Chain A
């Protein structure tokens, strides 16, 4: 029985030392995360602000002409910001209903065998790298969208044809990409609704569908909103997949226009940008960062609100 060993069979002194050391190690690890977020925020602010003074905040945020390498460069990213917003909203409008209904199917109404096929398919979808979505978009989606474009604008003399690389293609690729996120989290939220709610509703005579739409989904509201916000985060931050299908022209975000997102603007020009151009790209990164922070703040508010509802 040695009394100087570091084991759970020890004296009070050794046990205390082990406890204290472990606490310190945990705190140090946690500090990594805090420092990472802190330094990213500071670095983004430091690199994003020079361009604001060089070019002027109004010119950057509200200018409409993006010609950084011309004789008289102009750095207006208004259309780029609008494209990111419009593209994200459209992909949410398409992707969230489909995702939510699939989650309801998986959680509530699926026969066991069908669920056994659909669930692994959704999990596989979650694991596919985003570049593959872009490649499939080019191969399969672009020709179809081009045919649609030719049909819709038949005889038009003012439309600039994009050959299938436009806002619609990007939005469709994005909606498919956010499906796995939305489905998985919504399904977890739906399954976490206490089963007494469902039993009470059915006992009062409601049908299964009425129960789902009037009792279970409202009860799982905060989880579903979490899923939506995470989907928004993924859609607004996606770069590689939509670089291949969005067309890369800085135009107003109409469905059949070749458009540029905040993310694709940075990706396509960072490698050769210099001087003011490079600083403006960092400012674009800062704008993107601000969007994500905003979305996270909204998420936190909604989560707190949801907790209050659930507890009341």
Chain B
């Protein structure tokens, strides 16, 4: 009896140990992609992107991947999933496009997570999502990893200050001085005697990368707060007197004041013609060309490039690339 008990205990332990270690080694063999559902996702629709594989459409209904290039996408037929992850600045356009696309093709599910441009590019390189949203151009290294840069819109970065601030214009040099910590009080810039609270984004942010590169302060910025999302920066600037921050142009509302850069306002013509200093592309990166993606993803990009899609992009406050 005692030996049977011993054997039973031993077998149970062996079984549990092997199951734990196979689970461990399986997750190590997968590319390290299981970490993009942690901090940073807002409570928008999140997808279980840790388990979907990007190149197969695991649609819940019928499988309509026509690999011979025929695009038979009548609204009732098209089904599948499109998963996006990335920039928080692109939240508005990603959600609007998802809603409109799902309205047009009721059997398609489009989901988006907002984890930051760096995280989005990482996810699409690893194959855990179909589209990586990035609010900056892709680097050469990222393109060498197989990503294709599909620019869907041009966006401006707005410099925002709190509503009590009287400064309405900053030159590029003044911006650089503020962000490098060389100027620390608003009175040196024509405002009231109020210390400057420098607010920025975390290091994986596309907005931060684009801003630092355009102003020329890459790796030299001294932030007092590094906040993880566009919404967070807006909230902090709105509630902290003397603060300054940068956000995507389309989220600016009347809780903050916009500041013009080099006396140029961020209007449509100034942004498209790139006279306004802080304009950057919104990129929906895919692994491989669009024509190599699944049918649903191709239909999504086709939608964005159609007149409906272009109107949608304009309606959320973005600008079309030339």
Is A272 interfacial (CB-CB < 8 Å)?
A: yes
Would you call B39 and A270 a contact (CB within 8 A)?
yes
Q: Which chain A residues border B204 with CB–CB below 8 Å? A: 69, 269, 271-273
Is A253 interfacial (CB-CB < 8 Å)?
A: no
Would you call B224 and A31 a contact (CB within 8 A)?
no
Would you call B118 and A272 a contact (CB within 8 A)?
yes
Within 8 A of A (CB), among B4-35: 4-5, 8-9, 12-13, 16-17, 20-21, 24, 32, 35
Q: Which chain B residues border A162 with CB–CB below 8 Å? A: 197, 224-225
A side interface size, CB within 8 A: 44
Would you call A258 and B225 a contact (CB within 8 A)?
yes
Report Cα–Cα, A67/B24, bound state, in Å. 30
Report Cα–Cα, A218/B115, bound state, in Å. 51
Q: Which chain B residues border A243 with CB–CB below 8 Å? A: 39, 228
Residue interface bits A5-27, CB-to-B below 8 A is 1, else 0: 00000000000100010011001
Nearest chain B residue, comparing its CB with the CB of A281 = B35
Is B226 interfacial (CB-CB < 8 Å)?
A: yes
Nearest chain A residue, comparing its CB with the CB of B27 = A43
Is B36 interfacial (CB-CB < 8 Å)?
A: yes
Would you call A248 and B227 a contact (CB within 8 A)?
yes
* Complex partner residue of A269 from B17, B20, B32, B203, CB under 8 angstroms: B203
Q: How far is the CB of A253 from chain B (nearest CB, A)?
A: 15
Would you call B12 and A31 a contact (CB within 8 A)?
yes
Would you call B9 and A27 a contact (CB within 8 A)?
yes
Say whether, besides A161-B224, A163-B240, A272 and B116 are in contact (CB < 8 Å).
yes
Nearest chain B residue, comparing its CB with the CB of A68 = B203
* Complex partner residue of A249 from B4, B24, B225, B235, CB under 8 angstroms: B225
Would you call A267 and B38 a contact (CB within 8 A)?
yes
Q: Which chain B residues border A163 with CB–CB below 8 Å? A: 197, 199, 224-225, 236, 240, 242-243
Within 8 A of A (CB), among B184-198: 184-185, 195-198
Nearest chain B residue, comparing its CB with the CB of A274 = B122
Report Cα–Cα, A249/B227, bound state, in Å. 10
Q: Which chain B residues border A53 with CB–CB below 8 Å? A: none
Q: Which chain A residues border B38 with CB–CB below 8 Å? A: 267, 270-271
Would you call B197 and A39 a contact (CB within 8 A)?
no
Is A196 interfacial (CB-CB < 8 Å)?
A: no
Is A150 interfacial (CB-CB < 8 Å)?
A: yes
Q: How far is the CB of B38 from chain A (nearest CB, A)?
A: 5
Q: How far is the CB of B82 from chain A (nearest CB, A)?
A: 21
Is B301 interfacial (CB-CB < 8 Å)?
A: no
Would you call B181 and A160 a contact (CB within 8 A)?
yes
Say whether, besides A161-B224, A163-B199, A165-B225, A43 and B39 are in contact (CB < 8 Å).
no
Q: How far is the CB of B133 from chain A (nearest CB, A)?
A: 13
Q: How far is the CB of B146 from chain A (nearest CB, A)?
A: 15
Q: Which chain A residues border B24 with CB–CB below 8 Å? A: 39, 43
Q: Which chain A residues border B20 with CB–CB below 8 Å? A: 35, 39
Q: How far is the CB of A151 from chain B (nearest CB, A)?
A: 12
Is B202 interfacial (CB-CB < 8 Å)?
A: yes
Would you call B181 and A32 a contact (CB within 8 A)?
no
Report Cα–Cα, A273/B9, bound state, in Å. 42
Is B1 interfacial (CB-CB < 8 Å)?
A: yes
Would you call A150 and B195 a contact (CB within 8 A)?
yes
* Complex partner residue of A160 from B39, B40, B116, B184, CB under 8 angstroms: B184
Residue interface bits B270-299, CB-to-A below 8 A is 1, else 0: 000000000000000000000000000000
* Complex partner residue of A268 from B195, B228, B236, CB under 8 angstroms: B228
Report Cα–Cα, A150/B196, bound state, in Å. 11
6 tightest A-B contacts by CB? Answer: A272-B204, A272-B118, A272-B119, A163-B240, A163-B197, A271-B119
